[in-house]
């Protein structure tokens, strides 16, 4: 490559630059401001995230087509989504740290850097750039999972994620090595997405793609790489668990879908393999959640099931090649999932003590007598995850079923419907507990009054977000 022709359009990474500067500023100020004043750094972190969001939405760079010789693309949708997740985790962290969590400023800095890494990962048009961003995200998530390291559950979550993410990173890198080797044999730079389809005839390239896909399946918690999810979700601090469940999964799904689009038609065998993985992921996630009494482990299995639903959407896209409508459907689904999941974790975070690893469904008995806001948020958003109309979750699953029908994936539709029916059992068991008579052994709630409006707003959006779908199809 002639390096003199590369245009380093630094203005194209303005969003990431704002996030990086915010993170550095938080760490620098934490070193000089008094301990009592550090809680106000949350305001700085939130303001930095909001600034990055505004830059992403309103700033239009001039060199969109030549950024780093095409190594990065523009993806405002995911960038805005990731920043929104970080803002919600920052708000959730207000309650977490007010109840005893340690090192608030450092947590915010790591969360913001992790968000920056996710954005770069999804924007990557080159596998090596993607790997560097992938490892940045992994390191940050590992650190945040073990944030409450004085608690054995959080330390265990960090160690397990470190080991598993090390395996997934090594698998991803080994796949890149195979792809690079195939490119040398054919004199084509196969590390760039634009050249993927040229390598499909090479067995070495195909092996590399399989290994890369395996690394991504670790990231999104799909079968057979889902086993870490319940343990890590249970042990990690609640704001981190929410970020794991939503932002990390969405990044893996979007990146995997971009790879599949770049590969073009991959043949019946690849589609069949993804179909089997999707079906098993849905079944393992939903059937595994049936026996759970710990709410964070239940949400972990729910996250596995939702990864399966999103894989069905990717398979349908591979068959139909309808990229524009696919992106609308996938973003509709992950936004609906974000609204419901974050609202539920806000409820989880309202109980006394910052350590929620042992919170069980039985702790919710009598919740309706203690807090109507928490109960309403719980019911609305669990209904959305279960796919009950008229919530956004129902329309998200309906979109996937429409795509699956158009792609003639009837047996996968049956698996999806079965999984959704099973999910009603464990989601409604959680709802029912809120209206049961309390036994007196439940954990006390410690609601953060300042965050109750956020819970209400997320619940309202869960109910009205389907209007976006109606407006899209009206256009």
Count helices and strands in the chain by DSSP H and E runs: 19, 0
Give 268's pLDDT tier (boundaries 50, 70, 90): low
- By C-alpha distance, which of 186, 258, 183, 174 is closest to 210? 174
Measured from the Cβ of residue 421, the count of other Cβ atoms closer than 10 Å reads 12
pLDDT of residue 1: 46
**Which residue bears the tokens 């203005």?**
11
In the DSSP assignment, the letter for residue 234 is H
- The residue written with tokens 């890590």 in the block is 232
Task: Reply yes or no on whether the pLDDT at 172 is more than 60.
Answer: yes
**Largest CA-CA distance found in the chain, in angstroms, rounded:** 73
Q: How confident is the model over 188-230, as pLDDT tens digits?
A: 888 888 888 888 888 899 899 999 999 999 888 898 888 888 8
Per cent of the chain over pLDDT 70 is 92
Q: What is the mean pLDDT of the segment spanning 105-134?
A: 91
* Other beta carbons within 10 Å of 372: 10
Taking CA atoms, 468 is separated from 134, 332, 342, in Å, by 31, 8, 20
What average pLDDT does this structure show over 88-105?
82
* C-alpha neighbours within 13 Å on the C-beta side of residue 121: 29
Domain count for the chain, please give it: 1
Residue-level pLDDT at 105: 82
135-152: pLDDT as tens digits = 999 899 988 888 877 777
Residue 22 lies inside a defined structural domain of this protein: no
Selected residue with higher pLDDT from 372 and 150: 372
Is residue 173 pLDDT above 90, yes or no? yes
Mean pLDDT of all residues in 358-368: 87
Residue 367 lies in a domain: yes
| Angle at 471 (CA atoms; ends 418, 460), nearest 5 degrees | 65
pLDDT at 324: 79
In a domain, 126, yes or no: no
Banded model confidence at residue 285, pLDDT cuts 50, 70, 90 = very high
Domain region containing 345: 324-475
For residue 474, pLDDT over 60 is answered with no
Question: How high is the pLDDT of residue 64?
Answer: 52
- Has residue 334 been placed in a domain? yes
Residue 72, both tokens:
């990065």
Task: Encode pLDDT of 314-337 as tens digits.
Answer: 998 888 887 778 888 899 999 999
Write the pLDDT tens digit of every residue in 236-265.
888 999 998 999 999 999 999 988 888 877
Position 39 pLDDT exceeds 80: no
Model pLDDT, residue 277: 93
Residue 426 lies in a domain: yes
With respect to residue 41, please indicate whether it lies within any of the assigned structural domains: no
Query: Average pLDDT in the 417-423 region?
Result: 93
In a domain, 159, yes or no: no
Average pLDDT across the chain, whole number: 85
> Residue 365 has what DSSP assignment?
T
Residue 444 lies in a domain: yes
């Amino acid at each position: 490559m002639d390096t003199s022709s590369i245009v380093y359009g630094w203005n194209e990474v303005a969003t990431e630059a704002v996030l990086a500067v915010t993170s550095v500023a938080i760490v620098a100020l934490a070193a000089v401001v008094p301990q009592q004043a550090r809680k106000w750094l949350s305001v700085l972190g939130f303001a930095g995230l909001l600034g990055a969001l505004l830059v992403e939405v309103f700033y239009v760079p001039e060199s969109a087509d030549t950024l780093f010789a095409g190594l990065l693309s523009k993806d405002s949708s995911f960038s805005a989504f990731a920043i929104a997740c970080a803002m919600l985790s920052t708000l959730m962290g207000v309650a977490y740290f007010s109840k005893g969590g340690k090192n608030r400023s450092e947590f915010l800095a790591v969360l913001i850097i992790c968000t920056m890494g996710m954005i770069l990962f999804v924007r990557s048009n080159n596998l090596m750039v993607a790997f560097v961003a992938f490892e940045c995200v992994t390191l940050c998530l590992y650190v945040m999972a073990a944030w409450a390291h004085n608690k054995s559950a959080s330390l265990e979550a960090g160690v397990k994620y470190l080991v598993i993410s090390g395996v997934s990173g090594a698998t991803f890198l080994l796949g890149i090595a195979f792809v690079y080797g195939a490119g040398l044999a054919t004199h084509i730079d196969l590390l760039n997405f634009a050249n993927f389809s040229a390598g499909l005839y090479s067995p070495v390239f195909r092996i590399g793609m399989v290994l890369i896909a395996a690394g991504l399946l670790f990231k999104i918690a799909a079968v057979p790489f889902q086993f870490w999810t319940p343990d890590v979700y249970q042990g990690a601090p609640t704001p981190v668990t929410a970020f794991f469940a939503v932002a990390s999964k969405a990044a893996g799904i979007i990146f995997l879908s971009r790879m599949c689009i770049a590969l073009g038609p991959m043949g019946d065998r690849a589609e069949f393999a993804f179909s089997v993985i999707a079906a098993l992921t849905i079944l393992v996630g939903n059937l595994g959640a049936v026996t759970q009494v710990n709410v964070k482990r239940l949400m972990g299995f729910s996250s596995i099931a939702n990864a399966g639903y999103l894989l069905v959407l990717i398979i349908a896209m591979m068959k139909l090649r309808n990229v524009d409508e696919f992106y609308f459907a996938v973003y509709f689904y992950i936004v609906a999932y974000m609204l419901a999941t974050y609202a539920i974790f806000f409820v989880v975070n309202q109980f006394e003590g910052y350590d929620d690893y042992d919170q069980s469904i039985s702790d919710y008995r009598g919740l309706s007598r203690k807090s109507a806001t928490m109960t309403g948020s719980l019911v609305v958003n669990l209904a959305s995850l279960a796919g009950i109309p008229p919530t956004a979750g129902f329309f998200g699953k309906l979109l996937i079923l429409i795509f699956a029908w158009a792609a003639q994936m009837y047996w996968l539709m049956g698996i999806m419907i079965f999984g959704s029916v099973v999910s009603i059992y464990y989601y409604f068991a959680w709802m029912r507990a809120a209206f049961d008579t309390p036994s007196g052994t439940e954990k006390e709630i410690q609601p953060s009054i300042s965050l109750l409006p956020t819970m209400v707003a997320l619940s309202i959006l869960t109910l009205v977000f389907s209007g976006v779908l109606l407006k899209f199809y009206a256009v």
